[in-house]
Amino acid sequence: MSEKVIGYILLLIGVLSIIFSTYNAFQVFTGKAKPIQYFTEKNSPLDLSSLSGMLGPTSGTLVSASSVNDGLNLTLHIFLISIISGAGYKLASLGIMLLRAIEVKLIKSPFETIYPKPATKP
């Protein structure tokens, strides 16, 4: 395959992954989709009963396990989406580098500036 075809393919894959990650993050933040459920409610909630000796008589939970798990799941989801978006950016920029024509114009050779050519006789 030529460099231009590979460049267009990488550009397309990069742009599509950026669009997908942006759409997915928008869906999660608007509540239309659920984030990745990596953390589950197997853990017991954080309660104040273990601190009752220090704080005196208390009852109830400090933070529910579902709140902690939802926050951790959302954080992990956004972290993974940012990795996908960053990879899409890298692929798209690599594709653009392959598409651009590289032109090098030398005004003077560095060697000629140090050692000038001797004058020729006509």
pLDDT tens, per residue, the chain with 122 residues: 788 999 999 999 999 999 999 999 999 999 898 888 888 876 555 555 565 566 555 555 667 777 888 889 999 999 999 999 999 999 999 999 999 888 887 776 666 667 667 777 76
CA distance 55 to 78: 37
Residues 35 and 77 sit within 8 Å (Cβ to Cβ): yes
Q: What is the pLDDT of residue 103?
A: 82
Q: Is 115 within a domain?
A: no
The total number of structural domains in the chain stands at 1
- Whether 65 is in a domain gets the answer yes
Rounded CA-CA distance 17/110 in Å is: 44
pLDDT at 61: 63
In a domain, 119, yes or no: no
Q: What is the CA radius of gyration of the chain?
A: 30
Cβ count within 10 A of residue 22: 14
Task: Give me the phi and psi of 25, to 5 degrees please.
Answer: -65, -40
Residue 40 has a pLDDT of: 80
The residue segments making up the domain with residue 45 are 3-105
- Domain assignment present for residue 30? The answer is yes
Residue 117 lies in a domain: no
In a domain, 49, yes or no: yes
Instruction: Please check whether residue 12 lies inside any domain of the structure.
Output: yes
17 within 8 A of 77, measured Cβ to Cβ = no
Distance of CA 86 to the CA centre of its chain: 3
Q: What pTM does this model have? A: 0.66
Identify whether 111 is part of a domain. no
User: What are the phi and psi torsion angles at 23 (to 5°)?
Assistant: -65, -40
Under DSSP, the state recorded for 47 is E
pLDDT of residue 39: 80
Enumerate the H helices of 31-62 as residue ranges.
52-55
pLDDT at 75: 92
